[in-house]
Chain A
Amino acid sequence: MRNLFQFFVRYSSLFIFIMLEGVSLTLAIRYHSYHRTSFVNAANHFAGNVFNSYHNFTEYLSLKTVNDSLVRENALLKARQLSSFRDECVSIDSVKNEDLTQIYAYIGAKVINKTTDKANNYILLNRGSRHGIKRDMGVIAAQGVVGVVIDASDHFSVVMPVLHKDSKTSVKIGQSAYTGSLQWQGPSPYYADVLNVPNHVKVKTGDTVYTSGYSSIYPEDIMVGVIKKHRIPSGSNFHEITVKLSTNFEALPYVYVVNYLLKQEQQALEDSTKL
């Protein structure tokens, strides 16, 4: 018994080492093995508030760029207003405005912390479930797609951006009906790859890539980027496409969280047919 006790005292630091290392490695491995888990729940309130106050402190530094982007976006929205269109339809049974149903709503949010230089990046927003943000909502910015909400607390939410190895976005090439899957392997935050586009599809450098709207996460035709280069590896049935992303993740002050209003209905129908 005394020997056993001495044994423990002698190797106490080794035991502490194994215990602490075990705890941290368990956390790390759990993060890597369960798809789309985030660490924010344990830490969100404290860390979120610290980042929020730090952000309030440094926000004015980027006001000029923010204003510029808001002005550009306002111009775009003005151009899309109904008053900017003239009704050219002469037939009587034309589509009336009352027949339009709103299916997307947007929640504006500020980016209060983000990474772009890691193997798996993330973005922290200053809006949470209290403002209507839920898991699996899409996130877009003025220039293009950003990512998917993976976790939301009361006041904050965490976004898995395109710059994450588990991120898969359904996209289409130009206006064609062919879809592919946008994925990112790093290291540059400016480029991503489009996979699973069959080799008979005509692809040109400079073609624009849009979201396909299949996943009920993003609306259709949100810009993703422009094809930088493409090739078909010998013996492969698929293109290898590199896309220059239109969203600049390094300068991303504001984003919009997409609330697809018919999501529940669509999912309920999909689930009922899966039986």
Chain B
Amino acid sequence: MIGFYISRVFMFIGLVVFQVLVFNNLDFNFYVNPYIYPLFILLLPFNTPQWLLLILAFALGITVDLFSSTPGFHAAALVFMAYCQPLLVRLLTPKTTLETETLPNIRTIGFAWFITYAGILLLLHHIVYFLIEIFSLQNLLLTMAKVLISGLVSMVLIILLAYLFSPEKKRT
């Protein structure tokens, strides 16, 4: 169990480093700003208490903010996403599955389920983030284009990383 916590601490740091030093520096295009750090929240066990979920989301968001010179943008988006996560899980899963699966492991829980789960939450995160970043309702079309294009790129990256972070183990 201690090993699990330590691995999550490393995952937290790893995702921040990856996000801040690699993805923030890619400068592809105005429309392509992928954000991969929400993966940390997506992969937390389903039985994490909600208060802990929210505090972890705030901590992760504000850390990314510190390195991106964006006060509170990432924190606001990630806290919102973390608040929606348990609601969505309850909506998507029948009760019996939830009792047997506590970790959102992409290999065991199913690709289709994970895509729906991650896709909806990422979309919410990106909508909140880009609305705050652009901070104007005038160019809503531009904002939505940015949300969709960046969201799609983030989604692909997050699925690849989810495979990386999900240990391949046979369930008994």
Main secondary structure of the interface of B (DSSP, over half): helix
Assess whether A117 is in contact with B73, with CB atoms less than 8 Å apart: no
Assess whether B72 is in contact with A25, with CB atoms less than 8 Å apart: yes
Whether A104 is near chain B, meaning CB under 8 Å from some CB there, is: no
- For chain A, which range describes its interface: under 10, 10 to 19, 20 to 34, or 35 or more residues? 35 or more
Whether A90 is near chain B, meaning CB under 8 Å from some CB there, is: no
Interface residue ranges of B43-101 to A (CB < 8 Å): 50-51, 54-55, 57-58, 61-62, 65-73, 75-76, 79-80, 83
Whether B172 is near chain A, meaning CB under 8 Å from some CB there, is: no
Whether A178 is near chain B, meaning CB under 8 Å from some CB there, is: no
Whether A31 is near chain B, meaning CB under 8 Å from some CB there, is: yes
Main secondary structure of the interface of A (DSSP, over half): helix
Q: How far is the CA of A43 from the CA of B75 in the complex (A)?
A: 15
Scoring B65, B68, B72, B83 by chain A CB atoms within 10 A of each residue's CB, the highest score goes to B72
Assess whether A118 is in contact with B67, with CB atoms less than 8 Å apart: no
Interface residue ranges of B123-147 to A (CB < 8 Å): 132-135, 142
Assess whether A24 is in contact with B69, with CB atoms less than 8 Å apart: no
A/B pair count, beta carbons within 8 Å: 98
Known: A117-B32, A119-B134, A187-B30. A21 touches B69 (CB 8 A): no
Whether B28 is near chain A, meaning CB under 8 Å from some CB there, is: yes
Could you mark each residue 12-53 of chain B with 1 if its beta carbon is under 8 Å from any beta carbon of chain A, else 0?
000000000100110111111100000000000000001100
Whether A250 is near chain B, meaning CB under 8 Å from some CB there, is: yes
Q: Which A residues touch B68, using CB under 8 A?
A: 115
Instruction: Choose from B61, B83, B133 the contact partner of A24 (Cβ within 8 Å).
Output: B61
Instruction: Choose from A32, A113, A187 the contact partner of B142 (Cβ within 8 Å).
Output: A187
Could you mark each residue 139-162 of chain A with 1 if its beta carbon is under 8 Å from any beta carbon of chain B, else 0?
000000000000000000010000
Assess whether B67 is in contact with A50, with CB atoms less than 8 Å apart: yes
Q: Which A residues touch B70, using CB under 8 A?
A: 28, 31, 39
Known: A20-B58, A24-B58. A115 touches B30 (CB 8 A): no
Assess whether B142 is in contact with A28, with CB atoms less than 8 Å apart: no
Number of chain B residues close to chain A: CB under 8 A: 37
Instruction: Choose from A16, A40, A122 the contact partner of B51 (Cβ within 8 Å).
Output: A16
Whether A27 is near chain B, meaning CB under 8 Å from some CB there, is: yes
Instruction: Choose from B21, B66, B75, B79 the contact partner of A54 (Cβ within 8 Å).
Output: B21
Could you mark each residue 17-45 of chain A with 1 if its beta carbon is under 8 Å from any beta carbon of chain B, else 0?
10011011111101110000011101100
Q: Which B residues touch A39, using CB under 8 A?
A: 65-66, 69-71
Q: How far is the CA of A136 from the CA of B80 in the complex (A)?
A: 36
Q: Which B residues touch A118, using CB under 8 A?
A: 33, 133
Q: Which B residues touch A267, using CB under 8 A?
A: none
Assess whether B71 is in contact with A31, with CB atoms less than 8 Å apart: yes
Whether A188 is near chain B, meaning CB under 8 Å from some CB there, is: yes
Assess whether A24 is in contact with B76, with CB atoms less than 8 Å apart: yes
Assess whether A24 is in contact with B66, with CB atoms less than 8 Å apart: no
Whether A186 is near chain B, meaning CB under 8 Å from some CB there, is: yes
Assess whether A20 is in contact with B30, with CB atoms less than 8 Å apart: no
Whether A242 is near chain B, meaning CB under 8 Å from some CB there, is: no
Assess whether B73 is in contact with A115, with CB atoms less than 8 Å apart: no
Assess whether B67 is in contact with A117, with CB atoms less than 8 Å apart: no
Q: Which A residues touch B71, using CB under 8 A?
A: 27-28, 30-31, 39
Q: Which B residues touch A13, using CB under 8 A?
A: 50-51, 54, 83
Q: How far is the CA of A116 from the CA of B62 in the complex (A)?
A: 21
Can you list 19 A-B contacts with CB-CB less than 8 angstroms, sorted by A residue number?
A: A16-B54, A17-B83, A20-B79, A21-B76, A21-B80, A23-B72, A24-B75, A25-B132, A27-B75, A28-B73, A28-B76, A31-B72, A32-B135, A38-B69, A39-B69, A50-B67, A115-B68, A115-B69, A187-B30
Closest 3 CB pairs of A and B: A27-B72, A187-B30, A24-B72
List 7 additional A-B contacts (Cβ < 8 Å) besides A23-B75, A27-B72, A28-B72. Answer: A28-B73, A39-B66, A54-B21, A115-B69, A124-B69, A158-B69, A187-B30
Residues of A within 8 A of B (CB): 12-13, 16-17, 20-21, 23-28, 30-32, 38-40, 42-43, 46-47, 50-51, 54, 113, 115-120, 122, 124, 158, 186-189, 250
